[in-house]
Structure 1
Amino acid sequence: MEKKLIFSLFVFIFSFSFITFASALTSFQNDQIKSILGEDDDSGHWSEGILSSSAEAPGPASEPSGALVLAGSRTNRPDIFNRFRHYHGGWDITDKHYWASVGFTGAAAFILAILWFVSFGLAMILHHCYEWRLNIEGKDSHFSQMICLILLIIFTCAAVTGCILLSVGQDEFHGEAIHTLKYVVDQSDYTVQTLINVTGYLSLAKTVNVAQFYLPSDVKDSIDKLNIDLNSASNTLDRKTHQSSRKIRTVFDAVRSSMITVAVVMLLVSILGLYLSILGHRNAIHIFIIGGWLLVVVTSILCGVFVILNNAVSDTCLAMEQWVDHRNAETALSNILPCVDQRTTNQTLYKSKQVINDLGNIVNGFIGSYANSYGAPSGNPNYYNQSGPLMPYVCSPYDSQLQERNCSSEEVSMSNASMVWQNYTCIVSDSGLCTTTGRLTPDMYQQLVEAVNTSYALQHYTPPLLSFQDCNFVRETFTTITSHHCPPLQHHLQMVIAGLALISLGVVLSLSLWIIYANRPQREEVFAKIASKIKGKCNPKLCRDDHTVHVSSTNITG
């Protein structure tokens, strides 16, 4: 099959995976079923809106067909590739300008990451090369130290809170994303299983044999062709769906691991930075300052990436919601979900209903010619000593024109025919003749039940093909996703973004306070300075300038 059933590119981890699978649920039939049935096969006209003279499915009377821009209000953003002019094309994952507009939403975080990297890097150069320092000194140094310590604890708590939000948010996002992916895969598996069931029961119909009554040879040939192509379609869909699912799960797991790593590292840096700055370990704190500087760049970039992801998911959810309400309008999903192909669907159902009717005719033909026949053996070649009340005929759900019909009171439905006919079964002798009252031998009963069950199964499993092709199935899938999965996904993404932003802000504010608080005068240093001034001299080892002392108490002399 030449046409792709699954998108080859799964961008931004999750946001478009369910569209890919939902597209596969319907698009595979355009390539496969057309070749199965042929474009020139005239299937006639069906009532109740199943077949019509028009080749297109009629939409709701109040919904005019026409172009519709999906998520137009949300996607009205500056376009990086178009000189920052606003993009008006709506949701369209095949348009690079749409991706440029989505990417612009994370520009602020990327710019802040660059500015932070450059500005703090310059500050570190000034600090080390030109001995530019910020110290706490003077009469109010004790009060300043207390304020600095309180602020440092607050900013550390903010960073720790951000780590908690990041951990909880990514865990819930991962769980909801996997749950949504599983739902979409289950929907795809349902499609595959439906095709397998249809082809299986069609194959079983070929083997139906009730007293030398068979399906016509031309019907058997059409079943062979139908099974070959539908099996190929279902195998392709199943293979690509699960391949894509495994790839997406791998990405989810990688994102989860990276987010956990970032949260743990930033938590350790924040707490150890506070601890070392309080103890005044100047050399050790510089290592954490450099690490925190680089980690803030990483968290800022990740924050921008998740902002882009959140907007892409929100755009997709809104686009699906609008498509559900205007599925017959021409949209960016029209090429992805070619739903309106009523002729192909009708021809598929026509063939299936033809087989159902043929099986009903076989059963009723046997009942009329064998089970309900009269006469002595010499006058009836089909005589096997059948007797008793006449058997009821099975109700065929369609007439000769394949229109739906109501069953008469003398007929039994396919669903309970096996139970009713069991009352007409006789006990046979070794020669195969009935020795008790009855119209069927046990072997004949089994053959009739097999034929009726096959016909009933086809009647049960064939209608979903219509919902696949006219997009009712996709519509239900999208409705479930937008109502049950989109809101929690967006909420968890926002929690991750808030956590990353809070981590970045908390560590940025903590870095400068680490330096200031670590460089504060220690009690021993203050004591040494006072003692030196009392003696009327300032030891160079003790006094670096007129205000600040930078040695420990071990260097204090007499």
Structure 2
Amino acid sequence: METTTTKKKHCFSLLVFIFIFSFVLFCASAITPQQNDQVKSILEEDSLGHWRDGILSSSAAEAPGPADEPSGALVLAGSRTKRPDILNRFRRYQGGWDITDKHYWASVGFTGTAPFILAILWFVLFGLAMIIHHSCGWRLYIKGKDSRLSQIICLVLLVIFTCAAATGCILLSVGQDEFHGEAIDTLNYVVDQSDYTVQTLVNVTGYLSLAKTVNVAQFYLPSDVKDSIDKLNIDLNSASDTLGRKTHQSSRKIRTVFDAVRSSLITVAIVMLVVSILGLYLSVLGHRNAIHLFIIGGWLLVVVTSILCGVFVILNNAVSDTCLAMEQWADHQNAETTLSNILPCVDQRTTNQTLFKSKQVINDLGNIVNGFIGSYANSYGVPSGNPNYYNQSGSLMPYVCSPYDSQLQERNCSSNEVSMSNASLVWQNYTCAVSESGLCTTTGRLTPDMYQQLIEAVNISYALQHYTPPLLSFQDCNFVGETFTAITSDHCPPLQQHLQMVIAGLALISVAVVLSLLLWIIYANRPQREEVFAKIASKIKGKCNGKLCRDDRTVHVSSTNQITEV
């Protein structure tokens, strides 16, 4: 008997130690996002090259790069990403933000190791505790003189921890919903910017193709210009296809991940809330067999929430790295970085050719229009010997203003020229009515067909003038810098806040459920009313053979252990 008691005491001590250790571990999980800063001073590596202010500087021993490289390789978010690299013997990662580098992801993954380790320890320690619990045949009871007060305290704590778990589920649900919405808005913003760029390139390509079809009274673009337009359109189509394809491929992958994460978090929040409430309900009713199933379920679900907490710690650090990288890249837009995988710039050679060719075509179309006006519309003479005569008369038409000179530099319009945007209204006053033979029957310098041909040429020139200037921002990546600046200022802060809310919700759920599991076991094993009556009845049977006389009253104990007083 003494050996059995000693064995139970040892089991009790070991079990309590395991629970206390598990509790301390999960309390520590609430501060895991900062564990990265605590290990910075541990693993210092000086053999990875010279780095200064986050920008890679070439030493004299290094081979020189291309002569036309503008600013070298920019190390984005270099101060944030100096973390232990799991794949490189825990040496510090020095490559900066680079989503194409496995070592970057290994270093980011290191920031989530604490929750992962806690999940493993919890799985092992609580499983060991359950094995000891069943092998020793020991149960946690609330007994003694203060058992009533202990039960009340246990119940109150159980309700508090259940409410804490429910609060964590609410934080998790709200945080994931806000994060998903903000992430999709950010993604849509990037895609819209990319689509705008692609559409601009498509518009330029389309209007250049239309320029080839311009034919005003045998005035048309030279054949060499048409050939150069064809070659340029090939490059423009390739640039727009590459930009659209890269952006939409990245968008689909990111959207799939976000949707999967959202579904997982919603499922976890609902399941943990149901388990917490049902666990409280079954422990209050004292269903010991049923509560064991929920204890095992809660044990495994805590492992899941801890792993998810680690995943979101990693995601939070990756988002913070990306936001800082975008902010730094906006200040160094000519540097070569992997941000081009998110929103690539347009090839500089292609944009230069497009700008040059567009200006040239605009001037050529202006020359075609003005050549027709000078040779046909404003010509004088008699029908005989004048092939350009169609009975035109009246005041002379103004010429269209070409926005560029012969050197393709911007120029101001003269007083006798009309702007491209206003040409259709002005020239309409110079249109005459025509007979069946095509001659003007009223005063005017243009037949309706001629007017339409001129306006078509002017509209193409105006469209090229309107859509070509944005190519300057594509050439120097200003549109990408503006996009990233808008993301860092408008989208990054709420994204980080929502991620922290998700992490807090997962940590709160884990800690609350861990503490609830212990209280489920204790409160479910409390003495029940039937057990108390059974013990009293057993004592009565042993002393009075089924009858007990006290204070002139007789108590009969029936075969069903029911006590009646006579």
Smaller-chain TM-score bracket: 0.7 to 0.9
- Using the TM superposition, give the Cα deviation of residue 465 of structure 1 relative to its aligned residue in structure 2, in angstroms: 2.0
Pair 1:305–1:223, CA change in 2 (3 A):
same
1:528 aligns with 2:497: no
Query: Does the CA-based 8 Å contact 1:103-1:308 persist in structure 2?
Result: yes
- Using the TM superposition, give the Cα deviation of residue 190 of structure 1 relative to its aligned residue in structure 2, in angstroms: 1.3
Aligned to 1:394: 400
1:556 aligns with 2:561: yes
Amino acid in structure 2 at the alignment position of 1:404: E
Q: In structure 2, the residue corresponding to 1:207 is in which secondary structure?
A: coil
Aligned to 2:257: 251
Aligned to 1:293: 299
Count of residue correspondences: 485
Amino acid in structure 2 at the alignment position of 1:450: E
Pair 1:225–1:503, CA change in 2 (3 A):
same
- Mark the runs of 5 or more structure 2 residues left unpaired by the alignment: 1-66, 546-557
Point out the more displaced range, 144-153 or 239-248: 239-248
Amino acid in structure 2 at the alignment position of 1:256: R
Q: In structure 2, the residue corresponding to 1:426 is in which secondary structure?
A: coil
Pair 1:554–1:362, CA change in 2 (3 A):
farther
Q: Deviations over 1:220-248 (max 9, x none)?
A: 11112222342344345434543443343
Task: State how far apart, in whole Å, the 1-side matches of 2:560 and 2:371 are.
Answer: 115
Q: Deviations over 1:33-87 (max 9, x none)?
A: xxxxxxxxxxxxxxxxxxxxxx9798xxxxxx46543212221222223333333
Task: State how far apart, in whole Å, the 2-side matches of 1:242 and 1:436 are.
Answer: 57
Task: State how far apart, in whole Å, the 2-side matches of 1:77 and 1:427 are.
Answer: 80
Q: In structure 2, the residue corresponding to 1:145 is in which secondary structure?
A: helix
- Using the TM superposition, give the Cα deviation of residue 352 of structure 1 relative to its aligned residue in structure 2, in angstroms: 1.2
- Mark the runs of 5 or more structure 1 residues left unpaired by the alignment: 1-54, 59-64, 540-552
Amino acid in structure 2 at the alignment position of 1:356: I
- Using the TM superposition, give the Cα deviation of residue 100 of structure 1 relative to its aligned residue in structure 2, in angstroms: 1.7
Aligned to 2:285: 279
1:423 aligns with 2:429: yes
Task: State how far apart, in whole Å, the 1-side matches of 2:181 and 2:133 are.
Answer: 45
1:114 to 113, 120, 128: 120
Q: In structure 1, the residue corresponding to 2:429 is in which secondary structure?
A: helix
Aligned to 2:514: 508
Pair 1:555–1:505, CA change in 2 (3 A):
farther
- Using the TM superposition, give the Cα deviation of residue 535 of structure 1 relative to its aligned residue in structure 2, in angstroms: 5.1
Aligned to 1:148: 154
2:319 to 306, 313, 316: 313
Q: In structure 1, the residue corresponding to 2:320 is in which secondary structure?
A: helix
1:356 to 339, 353, 362: 362
Point out the more displaced range, 312-321 or 492-501: 492-501
Query: Does the CA-based 8 Å contact 1:56-1:340 persist in structure 2?
Result: no
Q: In structure 1, the residue corresponding to 2:144 is in which secondary structure?
A: coil
Q: 1:440-455, aligned counterparts within 5 Å?
A: 440-455=446-461
1:369 aligns with 2:375: yes
Amino acid in structure 2 at the alignment position of 1:525: E
Query: Does the CA-based 8 Å contact 2:247-2:342 persist in structure 1?
Result: no
Q: Deviations over 1:358-409 (max 9, x none)?
A: 0000000001111111111124221111111111111101101111111111
Pair 1:81–1:537, CA change in 2 (3 A):
farther
Pair 1:92–1:228, CA change in 2 (3 A):
closer
Q: In structure 2, the residue corresponding to 1:424 is in which secondary structure?
A: coil
Task: State how far apart, in whole Å, the 1-side matches of 2:378 and 2:471 are.
Answer: 37
Pair 1:538–1:258, CA change in 2 (3 A):
farther
2:85 to 67, 79, 85: 79
1:174 to 163, 171, 180: 180
Aligned to 2:505: 499
Q: Deviations over 1:499-521 (max 9, x none)?
A: 11111111111000000000011
Q: Deviations over 1:172-224 (max 9, x none)?
A: 11111222221122122112211221111111111111111010010111112
Task: State how far apart, in whole Å, the 2-side matches of 1:339 and 1:246 are.
Answer: 20
Aligned to 2:167: 161
Q: In structure 1, the residue corresponding to 2:183 is in which secondary structure?
A: helix
- Using the TM superposition, give the Cα deviation of residue 531 of structure 1 relative to its aligned residue in structure 2, in angstroms: 4.1
Query: Does the CA-based 8 Å contact 1:57-1:342 persist in structure 2?
Result: no
Task: State how far apart, in whole Å, the 1-side matches of 2:434 and 2:346 are.
Answer: 55
Task: State how far apart, in whole Å, the 2-side matches of 1:349 and 1:233 are.
Answer: 14
1:135 aligns with 2:115: no
Task: State how far apart, in whole Å, the 2-side matches of 1:188 and 1:340 are.
Answer: 11
Q: Deviations over 1:428-472 (max 9, x none)?
A: 111111111111111100000000000110111122222112101
Task: State how far apart, in whole Å, the 1-side matches of 2:243 and 2:114 are.
Answer: 41
Aligned to 2:469: 463
Taking structure 2 as the reference length, the TM-score comes to: 0.81
Pair 1:529–1:338, CA change in 2 (3 A):
closer
Task: State how far apart, in whole Å, the 1-side matches of 2:544 and 2:323 are.
Answer: 72
CA RMSD of aligned residues (A): 2.4
Query: Does the CA-based 8 Å contact 2:115-2:307 persist in structure 1?
Result: yes
**Bigger relative CO (Cα 8 Å, ≥ 6 apart):** 1
Taking structure 1 as the reference length, the TM-score comes to: 0.82
Higher-Rg member (1/2): 2
Task: State how far apart, in whole Å, the 1-side matches of 2:450 and 2:513 are.
Answer: 83
- Using the TM superposition, give the Cα deviation of residue 538 of structure 1 relative to its aligned residue in structure 2, in angstroms: 12
Q: 1:50-129, aligned counterparts within 5 Å?
A: 65=71, 68-129=74-135
Query: Does the CA-based 8 Å contact 2:239-2:347 persist in structure 1?
Result: no
- Using the TM superposition, give the Cα deviation of residue 329 of structure 1 relative to its aligned residue in structure 2, in angstroms: 4.5
Query: Does the CA-based 8 Å contact 2:172-2:505 persist in structure 1?
Result: yes
